Structure 1
Amino acid sequence: MKKALMYGAGNIGRGFIGKRFYLSGYHTVFVDVNADMVEKLRAAGKYPIYVTKGTEYVPEWVENCTAVNGRDDNAVIDEIASCDIMATALGVNVLPHVASLIARGLLARRERTGKPLNILICENLIGSDKYLRGLVEPFISEEAKSYFLDEVGFVSVSVGITVPPTPEKFLAENPLAVCTDLYRELPANALGFRPVGAPTPEIDGMVVFSPFDFFIERKLLIHNMGHALMAYLGYLKKYNYIYEVAADGEIKYILTRALVESARALAKRHGANLDDVMTFVETLIPRLDNPLLEDTLFRVGRDPKRKLGAGDRLGGAYLMVREQGGIPAHIAVGIAAGYLFDCPEDPIALEVSSFARKEGLAAALEKYSGITAPEDVAMITEFYNMLDRRAPFAEFVTVLNKYKTGMN
């Protein structure tokens, strides 16, 4: 039987990619440093996914799986050397810590079988393929470089499914349980697969595209941007869950217009059909409304240093709209709210919000978002001050219209 290696047994690893492998006929080996999770997966060999369908959760089972501890270097190396396909869903910040171990696994694979290997990179990062390849390559010996370049594929994929924290009632029944929505499409970069010209692996839901940047940016600069905007604005109104924010008409007003700003710019940047991009937006909004997905604002908003960045969801969407000649006024409101996100449980949020208050928002925008143009700093600062003093919604509408119509 074919074997898949899933590096990361978190919600995306188990709730989406592991399920895709199972439905494609693979025996899946998870790698994780959570020893308790590893032991439970080994013992059970399966786990439930609660899929939200309409107003109910429908359980589905992923079977034929096991796990190894990510701190057991030899076990991880053996699995990389012997699997048929591999994926990562670790979080961008973790990748540098596993790069040398991945390299050792690839070197062992070259020595033992010399077979090619494709690695699906399930991380929210534009250029994730180049990033991970660049982390691993320094650990590859000179004699193995040709194998590394010609036989190892680093494949960017776009993960669009929503996988929030699992409700406690399901975890009480089975601590391996995961909760997801219905989404199943997995766009993958056709140019990342190796060897070049060989048939791509058949994975349930995987659709291969080239050029691929459009799909990564659609996920990050529309879906993730809107999600983060909801979290930061919802936090200021003291909501706890995304579905609560989705029911707030004032935030929904800003959200929908921010999504349109980014959608128009993305279509223009890539020469994509605007109707198709707007259809993506229209199908996204009901998914954000789903009350069965108990997604917390803390989970969605944490690490604003990254999410406000020029290469990430909010800063990246803002700069893209400017690049394409638009006025990202509604996205600016989300950025302003991000700099007010001072969630006590998130030390990074406290660092960013404190820097903005002590050093000034202009300095924070330059440091964290790469936004320096005087007109951009002025617009975001105006919204920052309005949010900070809890200005009425009618005032936001007036100021937003001022910027969008060029009457400032």
Structure 2
Amino acid sequence: MRVVVVGAGKLGCGYLVPLFLEAGHEVVLGCRTRDTADRIRCAGGWRVRVTGERPEEVHDVTTASVGADLDEAVTAADLVVLSVGVANAAEAARSLVPGLAARRGRPVDVWVVENAECAHRVTEALRDTAAARGVALPPIGVAGAVARVTVGHGCWREQGVPEFLRDTPRQLAVDARPLLTAPPTLPGVRATGQYRARLHEKLFVYNAGHALAAYLGWLRGHRTVDAAIGDPFVRPVVAGALLEGRRAILAAYPGLRRGPQVDQCGDVHGPVAEALARYGNTELADPVTRVAREPLRKLSPGDRLLGPVALLRGTRHRVPAHFALGIAAALLYGYDDEAVPAADTSARRLRRLLDERGVSAVLAGVCGLAADDPFAAAIAVRYHGFVFTDDGVRFPPTAPLPDIVARADAVSRRREPLPGQVTR
């Protein structure tokens, strides 16, 4: 089987390419630039290590940069897999059109492995680009896919041959509905009829807790997620948010309780304990700045922080206190600290927005929370409640406060406006 994996990042090199190679398939790695493709070709491969195991060499990978090489690979492929980041998915899809058009009607599936429901964006980009170029596309099954794996290290911008480091869990759930052919037999890979539930299960529980550990840990001065989750100030907040998110997911998607028992589907506490253990993997030592990057996207409606909140409020009609504290911490990410990478323009833009407009305007414009929303009021209270001292940051309580947060709960039940405004 000939597979084109587009995306030479952590997930592509650390998980997807080895997955297909180990099963004996021929793999072409699609790269955005010729420089990256040439560097991989000159290096002759890379190393992949699973925590607790010895590293393995990855060889026999053909590289192709956008252009004639990638077009040829896509034309001959039996499967195309995209893993380029949510923001780059549409652009990557457009680069596939010449190769797809040259297939002369031969159908193909395209898996979109991202932490967002963006297969529709890929479909639209393919159709619009083909129409603009006046070419016909073959039948294409564009299917979202959820990868349950963390690749914390490895980058082609580093000097020398990189080593991609990932943790032990290794599963990939592919949306069965758009597929034209069944997925090949691969370890941990399966088609699912509950793709959205599986995506939200990962995004609103595991990824939400991961992000909260990073933002809270950054405030406490930690540089890695494993150090953050071991902090007695951080761990209870993250654990509480995980439990809130897990219960909301099972309430919203009761079919998960009856799904295949590959990850304790219907269990509340088992996946939470597993997530906390994965965050605490000292060998992975996932950098806080990697997990916390792009806070504007993570704070947008429907993403990992506000998405579970919407589910919680829809089923329990109350202010989720652990998420209120975690989101307040996310708003403070990068405050007066040069340790935040210069490349994280999202974090720096968030800081400018807060400085220029204040927290209430940011909660409205970025998070989609109205000024009279009790959850916005709860976040603002926590945002102003952090205490910065010489020996570390003290968090405000997660339990409902006796004044504005208690009234916020009452407002959410009565649907009445909350008196007063909280400003930065």
TM-score, structure 2 as length reference: 0.84
Higher mean displacement: 376-385 or 321-330: 321-330
- Answering whether residue 235 of structure 2 is matched by residue 241 of structure 1, we say no
Match of 2:111 in 1: 120
In 2: Cα distance, 1:226 partner to 1:232 partner: 10
CA shift digits 1:240-267 (9 cap, x unpaired): 1111101101100000000111111111
- Answering whether residue 130 of structure 2 is matched by residue 140 of structure 1, we say yes
Residues 167 and 294, structure 1, Cα contact 8 Å, conserved in 2 = no
Q: Report the Cα offset of residue 25 of structure 1.
A: 1.6
Quickly say closer, same or farther: Cα 1:8–1:282, change in 2 above 3 A: same
Residues 227 and 300, structure 1, Cα contact 8 Å, conserved in 2 = yes
SS state at 1:95 partner: helix
Match of 2:321 in 1: 329
Q: Report the Cα offset of residue 12 of structure 1.
A: 0.4
Quickly say closer, same or farther: Cα 1:205–1:395, change in 2 above 3 A: closer
In 2: Cα distance, 1:29 partner to 1:159 partner: 20
CA shift digits 1:47-75 (9 cap, x unpaired): 3211102xxx42123333121123xx111
Match of 2:379 in 1: 380
- Answering whether residue 351 of structure 2 is matched by residue 369 of structure 1, we say no
SS state at 1:158 partner: strand
In 2: Cα distance, 1:387 partner to 1:133 partner: 44
Match of 1:353 among 351, 360, 370: 351
Quickly say closer, same or farther: Cα 1:118–1:344, change in 2 above 3 A: closer
Match of 2:47 in 1: 48
Match of 1:165 among 137, 153, 168: 153
Unaligned runs of 5+ in 1: none
Identity %: 25
Q: CA RMSD in A?
A: 2.7
Unaligned runs of 5+ in 2: 258-264, 335-339, 412-424
Match of 1:83 among 77, 80, 84: 77
Residues 211 and 291, structure 2, Cα contact 8 Å, conserved in 1 = yes
Greater fraction of residues in helix = 1
Match of 2:4 in 1: 5
Residues 242 and 272, structure 2, Cα contact 8 Å, conserved in 1 = yes
Code of the aligned partner of 1:322: R
In 1: Cα distance, 2:148 partner to 2:30 partner: 22
Residues 209 and 242, structure 2, Cα contact 8 Å, conserved in 1 = yes
In 2: Cα distance, 1:355 partner to 1:335 partner: 16
Match of 1:340 in 2: 332
In 2: Cα distance, 1:215 partner to 1:118 partner: 20
Residues 344 and 350, structure 1, Cα contact 8 Å, conserved in 2 = no
CA shift digits 1:224-253 (9 cap, x unpaired): 111111111111112111111011011000
Q: Report the Cα offset of residue 102 of structure 1.
A: 1.4
Q: Report the Cα offset of residue 400 of structure 1.
A: 6.5
Q: Mapping of 1:163-202 within 5 angstroms?
A: 163-166=151-154, 175-194=161-180, 198-202=181-185
In 1: Cα distance, 2:206 partner to 2:399 partner: 26
Match of 2:416 in 1: none
Q: How many residues align?
A: 389
SS state at 1:159 partner: strand
TM-score, structure 1 as length reference: 0.87
SS state at 2:47 partner: strand
CA shift digits 1:118-148 (9 cap, x unpaired): 11111111x2211211222112249966x55
Match of 2:141 in 1: 153
In 1: Cα distance, 2:9 partner to 2:323 partner: 30
Quickly say closer, same or farther: Cα 1:303–1:392, change in 2 above 3 A: closer
SS state at 1:276 partner: coil
Match of 1:131 among 108, 121, 131: 121
Match of 1:262 among 227, 240, 245: 245
